[in-house]
Structure 1
Amino acid sequence: MKPPPGLNIPDQHLVFKLQKSIYGLKQASREWHDKLTNTLIQTGFSKSFSNHSLFIKNTNIGFTTILVYVDDLILTGNDLNQINHTKSVLHNKFSIKDLGDLKFFLGMEVARSKQGRTLYQIKYTLELLQETGFLAAKPAPTLMVYNTPIHSQLGIPLHDVTSYRRLMGKLLYLTHTRPDISFSVGCLSQFLASPIDQHYKHATHILRYLKASPAQGIFFPSQNTTIIQGYSDSDWATCLDTRRLVTGWCFFVGTALISWKIKKQNTVSRSSSEAEYKALAMAACEAQWLLFLFRDLGIPHPKPVTIFCDNNSALHIAANPIFHERTKHIDVDCHVVRERLNNNTIHLLPFHTSLQLADIFTKSLSPSPFRYIVSKLGILDIHMPSLRGCVEINNDIISPKTNPRTSPRQINTYTTQQQNFPLLETF
């Protein structure tokens, strides 16, 4: 450790000896991130202002991108020489363990083929089903019983609250690759303080749904466009306890789903138009962020981002430059949407409610609309749905990490390259 500023030491080459590991200190994560950031910047990378974990390096030959999560790095680009040079620089500065092509990252698995890439969590799902005892349960076709409302007090309080909270935490992490369960998991997560037996029953229904398709994940086709389009929707007064609305939106790059969110608002809306407009304001901000991210990656997007909304009143409010009494209390959202509409950041289009893909993020649906929307989200199941010996997991793809509290810091790097693979890889 270097001496702190202001301390007079006769020999400048002296350093402090630590009595305990630096990894036990609260500022260890920040110091590690600063050191890694300075190393990458000195190598020629620039830090993205849209995503502080993303580092980009553009040259005349190509580009190289690094995505950082603590000491796990994903390295990709179209210049193999620059990728190898970056690995050598990091190897000289730190202790690097090169894990090769990206197959497993933070519990998420990647399968590759000539058609594209699939991001899924089959190992995580099977471990969750085995831990909860639902590995041999009867599969469910949909997530929740769509005609059964969820209350906060109509039931018997659970004695083991910790198990319910642990289950919801595991399901929340699974939503990174399973957008189809995002609404159900988010709806049940608001009762973590005092869950009842009905909440646990709905949670077990989600586990039965996962049993039907444990290898389901997001598919990113190799032949795709870079045009961004989004869907915005809300469910007015959907909460039976507080009557607050739930907003949801999702964005696609071509046909690949890249971003989605569900949020229960903090205030009560006075009309369905106001509810739809709040969802539209959130979607407009996300569209602006995606354009900033595309700009950092060097991907051109000359056209405005198209956002589909199935509420004509919200579209009229966005196009009307005059405020009146009914929209005076939502002027902040009006300014957000209208400003991005005027500077050609977004483009609003109406369409039929039956085609609203964001419905799956705002309400419980019957089996037929649910399956239709899931098919349109680009979700793919690369394994057989049966678990009777058909699913095989290879644990060799998981490289154990060293304990940072007992051994030196080590960086795990994963490389993705622009190439075709002969067969679909399954684990």
Structure 2
Amino acid sequence: MNQSNPMPTPMVSSLRLHKNDSEIFDDPKKYRSIVGALQFLTITRPDIAFAVNKCSQFMHQPTIEQWKAVKRILRYLQDWATDLDDRRSISGYLVFLGSNLIAWKCEKQSEVSRSSTKAEYRAVASAQTEVMSIQQFLQESQVSQQVTPMIYCDNQSTCHLAVNPVMHSCCKHLETDLHFLRELVNRK
């Protein structure tokens, strides 16, 4: 889906999915896996909740039309400038302590990003700040931390930028976040 064109909405409002709307999709396990991941994503992306809910109703025997609807949601998520009025991206993250969700955030970024890498990098920096605050709280509460916190990001360019010591000229406006995260990555 990386090479597909982004979509402005997660679902066409006139779309009517139903049990027998087309032939059966040949990989129901893939359908269930992706829809399951999208259900998890609705926690930080409420804008896809309706479309994901609709697609999740057909997990038992998905059709090709329902698969197309899932792919449209993925294409919608690909568009980093999600707000059509101001083109600002939405940042979101979840923080778990063990298997327990203890913090989450979903907000519009304060600046327009000209690439998905920049938008994702800002989101990772925001998540890291939250993790550090939680670590400080746990330390003050004398709760031992057995595991080094991990931040997961699905944007490969953002991950490479976090560990690459070479400063790229296109990212100079991210310099503060860049050095902040890179320093923390180096310290493990």
Q: TM-score range by the shorter chain?
A: 0.5 to 0.7
What CA distance in whole angstroms lies between the structure 1 residues aligned with 2:173 and 2:43?
33
Task: Give the superposition deviation at 1:292.
Answer: 0.6
Of 214, 219, 238, which aligns to 2:82? 238
For normalisation by structure 1, the TM-score amounts to: 0.27
1:147 aligns with 2:28: no
Cα distance between partner residues in 2 of 1:332 and 1:234: 26
Q: How does 1:243-282 map to 2 (within 5 A)?
A: 243-282=87-126
Corresponding residue for residue 303 of structure 1: 147
> Secondary structure at the residue paired with 1:278?
helix
Inter-CA distance 182–279: structure 2 relative to 1 (3 Å threshold):
closer
The residue aligned with 2:169 is 325
One-letter identity of the residue aligned with 2:161: I
Residue 307 of structure 1 aligns to a residue in which SS? Answer: coil
Q: Partners of 2:131 and 2:90 in 1: how far apart?
A: 19
Question: Residues of 2 paired with 1:235 and 1:280: CA distance?
Answer: 17
Q: Is the 8 A contact 2:44 2:92 kept in 1?
A: no
In 2, distance between residues paired with 1:277 and 1:182? 17
Q: Which residue number in structure 1 is paired with residue 135 of structure 2? A: 291
SS at match of 1:262: strand
Structure showing greater radius of gyration is: 1
Q: Is the 1:247–1:279 Cα contact (8 Å) retained in structure 2?
A: yes
Residues 315/182 of structure 1: CA separation in 2 closer, same or farther (3 Å cut): closer
Distance of 2:160 and 2:10 partners within structure 1: 32
Is 1:314 aligned to residue 178 of structure 2?
A: no
Letter in 1 for 2:132: Q
Q: Are the counterparts in 2 of residues 273 and 313 from structure 1 also a CA contact under 8 Å?
A: yes
CA deviation after TM superposition for structure 1 residue 247, in Å: 0.7
Secondary structure at 1:269 match in 2: coil
Amino acid at match of 2:150: T
- Rounded to whole Å, the distance in 2 between the matches of 1:272 and 1:285 is 20
**Contact 2:122–2:177 (CA under 8 A) maintained in structure 1:** yes
Structure 1 gaps, min length 5? 1-144, 150-178, 188-201, 206-232, 345-427
Q: Give the partner amino acid of 1:297.
A: S
- Contact map agreement 2:80 2:119 (CA 8 A) in 1: yes
Q: Which one-letter code corresponds to 2:147 in the other structure?
A: K
Conservation of the 8 A alpha-carbon contact between 2:44 and 2:104? no
Contact 2:44 2:93 in 1 (8 A): no
Could you say which structure has the greater relative contact order, defined with CA pairs below 8 angstroms and 6 or more residues apart? 1
Q: Quick one: which amino acid aligns to residue 279 of structure 1?
A: A
1:322 aligned partner, one-letter code: V
> Aligned letter for 1:337?
L
The separation in 2 between residues aligned to 1:246 and 1:235, in whole angstroms, is 10
Q: How many residues get paired?
A: 127
Separation of aligned partners in 1, 2:187 and 2:146: 12
- Structure 1 distance, partners of 2:11, 2:79, is 15
The 8 Å contact of residues 294 and 300 in structure 1, kept in 2 or not, is answered as yes
Question: Where do residues 199-218 of structure 1 align in structure 2 (5 Å cutoff)?
Answer: none
Matched with 1:42 is none
Question: Following TM superposition, by how much is the alpha carbon of 1:253 offset from its aligned partner in structure 2, in angstroms?
Answer: 1.2
Higher fraction of helix:
2
Task: Indicate the RMSD between aligned Cα atoms, in angstroms.
Answer: 2.8
**Could you tell me the TM-score, scaled by structure 2's length?**
0.59
Say which structure is richer in strand.
1
Q: Distance in 2 between matches of 1:314 and 1:258?
A: 25
Distance 2:97 2:179 in 1: 26
Secondary structure, counterpart of 2:169 in structure 1: coil
CA distance in 2: counterparts of 1:248 and 1:298, whole angstroms = 28
